[in-house]
Amino acid sequence: MSETDAAWIDAALTSARPQAVGALLRYFRDLDTAEEAFQNASLRALKSWPQNGPPREPAAWLIMVGRNAAIDEVRRSRKQQPLPEDDQAISDLGDAEEQIAERLDGSHYRDDILRLMFICCHPDLPPTQQIALALRIVSGLSVKQIARAFLVSEAAMEQRITRAKARVADANVPFETPGAVERSERLAAVAAMIYLIFNEGYSASGDTADIRKPLSEEAIRLARLLLRLFPSEPEIMGLTALLLLQHARADARFDAQGALILLEDQDRMLWNQKLIVEGLALIDKAMRHRRSGPYQIQAAVAALHSRAPRPEDTDWQQIDLLYGALELMQPSPVVTLNRAVAVSKVKGAQAALDMIEPLAPKLANYFHFFGVRGAFLMQLGRNDEARVAFDRAIALANTSAEAAHIRMHLDRLMRDSKPPGKTAGN
Amino acid sequence: MLYAILCYHDEDFVGSWSKEQDAAVMKKLAAVQEKLAREGRLGPVARLLPTTAATTLRKENPPLVLDGPYAETKEQLLGFYLIDCKNLDEALDVAKDLGAANPGGAYEIRPVGTFVPGGAVK
């Protein structure tokens, strides 16, 4: 098999996987059996495709072959006679494959993929397990790859995934075609899970960003897949736009030492224009529906940043309004904190500080609260108080990049306060 | 004579390429394009963004805007425009003007990802 063949088959298996495993899961109603069947079919594909040429519909081929292989397995394990027509399944595949391909064109299969994704979002599973399970089952990443992205040992990740699977198996997710309400509930859960995967990659610090970046890219692939299945859902457009617009800034977010660079200090030439154009097109599409939602609003904020050629061109007033809408929809101190940053640009640091003071009890252990508070105090020239806030932020930092970023502020405060009589602020 | 070459492929499959695979394919294509450009035979080349970013305008009265790519098979691709627009609404306005001038059928509106203006074609 040539290298081109291997790469081609690899891409074909990856792209067919959600659909094929989803259909096999509906058929066998058991995750392990479905996965094993797909695995078997993939092995046969590696043997058959280079010789016989690739099938017209790889997903249909894999479903067909996987199903036959699993049925054989079940019969064999029941200690019945070995089946003579073992390989017949492959030889007269043509018609059956076409039939399946036809059915895949229908709306049927989008529920298969949605169900497969939804199974990974069981509410009993902690977020890290949801993500690991989705990457294993839906994306087909190896345990080794997932372990690497999560910076844990392979054995630990294997255990995490096994535990998650056991829990999912007890959950009894229904296999009937879902109704409209159920479908939209599933869609919301899956969207949240995709956003978790993205953030797992996005929140990496500078030294691990390259290792974890594939997580963000995989989340974008899954979001596009979901959007293709549900092309008229504005929140899925919003989610996809949000991921694209945030990911577009990936190359500008860290300096050579791996320290975080704030949005307003980033080199905008490093932003990926292709991703931005796609994200902007999607948010434009979503807005036309006039059915706002949290992902759309966050994407709209990201779009305003993307549309500003320079930081001073940013439409902070509009961002303030958007966060205001998000506060109404999803009241949370973190949203208010984000809004305060916009308010500081529009009405000044004092107004912003007044806005976040009431959040203190709720965000007493939140890194960003103290980082933002310190920055407002610094702008007001209240350097001693700013230093206290920054010290607290460093103590709460989640990554070394976060801590390094705050230390930079502290250094500036030190520098500014050294010459006697000089005050900070500009 | 000018010929347009329209590119079709399975989007899921192309979307599963690694960045390296994608870059390798683009490099091979660029080699073919370079030769054509040297000969003064290459017009504009565009790589479109995914169909998930597409919107379709049915040229009815009033025009009907639909999410997603053009999906009917009973109509055929007869031509295309490349227009510089600030946003989707502006692109839809242009499409509506064109549609009023020539009703019937549909326009699919797709953002362009990569654009090579190409040399002058004689």
pLDDT in tens, A379-409: 999 999 999 999 999 999 888 888 888 888 8
Q: What is the mean pLDDT of chain B?
A: 90
CA distance B113 to B107: 18
pLDDT digits (tens, 9 = 90+) for A161-178: 999 998 888 877 777 778
A234-247 vs A180-202: helix crossing angle, rounded to 10: 10
Q: What gap in Å lies between CA A103 and CA A175, rounded to an integer?
A: 17
Do A284 and B87 lie within an 8 Å CB cutoff? yes
Helix-, strand-, coil-residue percentages of chain A, each rounded to 5 = 75, 0, 25
At which residue do the structure tokens 């984000």 appear? A338
The model carries a pTM of: 0.88
**In sequence order, what are the beta bridge partners of A254?**
A260
Q: Chain B residues with CB inside 8 Å of A282's CB?
A: 52-53
Map residue A107 onto helix, strand or coil.
Answer: coil
Token reading at B50: 């995914």
User: Would an 8 Å CB–CB cutoff place A6 in contact with chain B?
Assistant: no
Chain-centre distance for alpha carbon A87: 40
Q: Which residues of A touch B87 (CB under 8 A)?
A: 280, 284
Question: Could you tell me the sign of the dihedral formed by the alpha carbons of A380, A383, A388, A391, in that order?
Answer: positive
- Are A120 and A168 in contact by the 8 Å Cβ rule? The answer is yes
User: Is the confidence at residue A421, as pLDDT, over 50?
Assistant: no
- List all residues 6 or more positions away from A199 whose beta carbon is below 8 Å from its beta carbon: none
Within 230-249 of A, beta carbons closer than 8 Å to B belong to 231-232, 237, 240
The larger pLDDT score, comparing residue A204 to residue B75, is at B75
Q: What is the DSSP letter of A206?
A: T
Chain B nearest CA to A246, separation (Å): 17
Cβ separation B88–A281 shorter than 8 A: yes
When scoring A109, A221, A227 by the number of chain B Cβ atoms within 10 A, the one with the most, hence best to mutate, is A227
Q: How confident is the model at residue A105 (pLDDT cuts 50, 70, 90)?
A: low
- Domains in chain A: boundaries: 3-106, 111-173+180-214, 365-426
| Domain range summary for chain B, segments of one domain joined by + | 12-43, 44-115
In chain B, which residue's Cα lies nearest the Cα of A11? B16
How many CB atoms are located within 10 Å of the residue A351 CB?
A: 13
Dist. CA A170–CA A163, nearest whole Å: 11
Are B113 and A16 a contacting pair at CB < 8 A?
Answer: no
Q: How many percent of chain A have pLDDT more than 70? A: 89
CA distance A164 to A161: 5
Between CA A339 and CA B9 the distance in angstroms is: 44
Among all residues of chain B, which has the CA nearest to that of A286? B67
Name the pLDDT band for A36 (thresholds 50, 70, 90).
very high
Distance, in Å, from the CA atom of A372 to the CA atom of A396, rounded to the nearest integer, reads 13
